[in-house]
Amino acid sequence: MPTAYQPTIDFHRLLQHDLPPEDGQDHADAARGFLGTVPDAEVTGADGRLVWSLRPYAFLDDEVAPATVNPSLWRQARLNRTHGLFQVSARIFQVRGFDLANITFIEGDEGLIALDALTVAETAAAALALYRRHRDPDGRRALHTVMYSHSHADHFGGVLGLVKPADVAAGRVQVIAPDGFLHAAVAENVVAGVPMMRRAQFQFGHTLPKGPAGQVDAGLGKTMPLGRPGLIPPTRLITQPFEQHVIDGVEIHFQLAPDTEAPAEMHCWLPGERALNLAENTNHTLHNLCPLRGSQVRDALAWSKHLHAALHRWGDQAEVLLAQHHWPTWGNGRVRAFLAEQRDLYRVLHDQTVRLMSHGLKAAEIAEHLVLPAGVAQRWHNRGYYGTVSHNVKAIVQRYLSWYDAHPANLHALPPVPAAVKTIDYMGGIDAVMQRARADFERGDYRWVAEVMKHAVYAHPDHAAARELGAQALEQLGFQAESATWRNAFLLGAHEYRNGPPKPLPPGTGFGLVAALSSELLFDALAVRLNAPRAEGLGFTMAWQFTDRGEHWRVELCNGALHALAVDAPPAADVSLTLARSTLDDLLLHKLQPPQAVAGGLLTISGQATLMAQFFGLLDRLTMSFPIVDAAPWPDA
């Protein structure tokens, strides 16, 4: 089993002096209001497949961190293993530890409101069953309202485990969401969805073995459940900056908080409970301004301002602050301090990064040296278990100044492999590099060894010793990391140096939200899969009629680009296709083949019928298994 070397042990010893004092309050808050759970929060699917279990984290029983885990992260990992149903206030209950996120149940006068829906139907159904076992064994409280706090899949993807689409369609269940939710929910992970999902493996570490030398946590929670998210579109949108509604006798004040942790997000104040829910904008960690999986950079300034508005509006009244990750904070003084410190965290990161970049400092320089004020840094809930000061600073610089650092040498730099070949050659060749790198490794200079081995493996991908030394350097960096996401990335990088990338997944895997896409977004997703070199010299038009949506689309291939336009009537085209949109979804998910669709009367083709097959032949097949620590091969034309 991998071990921590002395420099890592020394690093942990020094870190202990910089950590906030332990007063036991977080552990008490995480356990407060416990009503019950099931062993290891285990959830299985209808087919017996294990969807979620905390059993592999039994190693966290030890209070003292092993040498292979940062002691601050060990503390967070132990807190995140707490699971069950918890009472927050008279009407508010949370299920925590059954998914990466929390689900919050609010008891109305007659029925039940669910705030968020977890990631997959199985975990959401298990959470609802746990609530009913302890609060509603006869099932008298009908779940009549689902509220999505924001547009990330771990907060809406399990909705089909809570309610049926038919009940929503019939008006028996309403679904409430912030303005812009639906587009944000399906758009972020569609156009660039494949590389995001591959990179998410490094962020969450769910493909790593669980254990003291492997995955221990994900910062926001333990990890991601297995399965596919679903989605029921909202039936009511919150569109004003502040709105008040009474739902089943529960007064709820909504605050829109767009362009914060998610493009569409909202806070909720329940005055009857004196409870403030801030979705995912306050957490017991510093969050990401750009997650390691990738996304559009989030607005730290807007984030801080929305928290400031919430503090000003409700801070003096709130007796409990809860969110859709982690555990609540009780007591007005503690609530106000927690909220103010989280607000200050994002504001000082933003303002000081902009100040320093205005002095000409580069992103990496700011990230290396920016120090948070003690009043911010010396709080457990502001530690970098998920986001970090380092990569959040770089995200802020990127948001304002782009990828380019203004040094002309970086304007047209060589790509990684040719740069690596020349770098290794300039350093005296691979043998000399290995000798120097081993000496630096022994001194504990793991960051530099990892950097040099990156070049060595790019230049000599089959050099076993370089791959192993690179793996060992990344491993030690992982053992040192306070951030769960950094640890996961380092350790999975080490794994792939030794074992290569994962095997390709079956076609269609991971596209559980296809049916929720608008047709415009679906055609955008197809357009980025079009292999332009393969389409060289080709040009044709297609007319798509979606019978179940009453839609007509004119799609044109021209100069390697695909253009889609909604039209009012069937357009003239080289080939016309009539089908339900759901049939196209099944074709793209490989649940159905075109000949089957035609034979079954699900697809009618007129005009140049061969163009349909030609069109699908121009689309790249994406496997979500491309190399990360090795150079990715150029796709064939």
**Predicted local distance difference test score (pLDDT) of residue 637:** 63
**Going along 152-248, which residue ranges are E strands?**
174-178, 236-238, 242-247
What sign results for the dihedral spanned by CA atoms 191, 194, 195, 200?
positive
Q: Which one-letter DSSP state was computed for residue 241?
A: S
Neighbouring residues of 335: CB distance < 8 A, sequence distance ≥ 6: 276, 315, 318, 319, 320, 321, 329
Residue 509 has what pLDDT?
52
* b/e burial code for range 393-402 (CB count within 10 A of at least 16 → b): bbbbbbbeee
What CATH number should be reported for the domain whose range is 6-363? 3.60.15.30
Ranges of beta strands (E only) in 451-559 are 539-546, 551-558
pLDDT at 590 (0 to 100): 85
Q: Are 557 and 540 in contact (CB under 8 A)?
A: yes
d(CA 622, CA 619): 9
Q: Which two tokens stand for residue 111?
A: 């029925």
For residues 621 and 633, what is the distance between their CA atoms, to the nearest angstrom?
14
Element (H, E) at 604: strand 603-607
How far, in Å, CA of 313 to CA of 78, rounded? 34
Q: Where are the domains of the chain?
A: 6-363, 414-499, 514-617
Cα–Cα nearest to 209, from 405, 68, 63:
68
Distance between CA atoms of residues 317 and 159, nearest Å: 32
Task: Tell me the pTM.
Answer: 0.95
DSSP state of 285: S
Instruction: Report the topology of domain 414-499.
Output: 1.25.40
Backbone angles phi, psi at 107, to 5 degrees: -85, 120
Whole-angstrom distance, CA of residue 262 vs CA of residue 279: 10
The answer to whether the beta carbons of residues 56 and 155 sit under 8 Å apart is no
pLDDT digits (tens, 9 = 90+) for 344-377: 999 999 999 999 999 999 999 999 999 999 999 9
Residue for token pair 């889609």: 564
Q: Is the distance from CB of 346 to CB of 393 less than 8 angstroms? A: no
Low-confidence ranges of the chain (pLDDT < 50): none
- Whose CA is closest to 280, among 295, 298, 296? 298
- Among residues 410, 273, 295, 298, which one has the least CA distance to residue 349? 298
| Bridge partners for 276 per DSSP | 269, 321
Rounded Cα gap, residues 231 and 188, in angstroms: 14
Coil, strand or helix: which one is 430?
A: helix
Residue with tokens 């079009």: 530
- CATH for the 514-617 domain, from 3.40.50.1220, 3.40.50.150, 3.30.1050.10, 3.40.50.11540: 3.30.1050.10
| All residues at 6 or more sequence positions from 529 whose CB lies less than 8 Å from its CB, including other chains | 619, 620, 622
CA 112, CA 131: separation in Å to the nearest integer?
Answer: 11
Q: In what helix (H) or strand (E) does residue 35 lie, and over which residues does it extend? A: strand 34-36
pLDDT in tens, 150-189: 999 999 999 999 999 999 999 999 999 999 999 999 888 7
Residues 6+ away with beta carbon under 8 Å from 560: 530, 532, 533, 535, 536
pLDDT at 512: 62
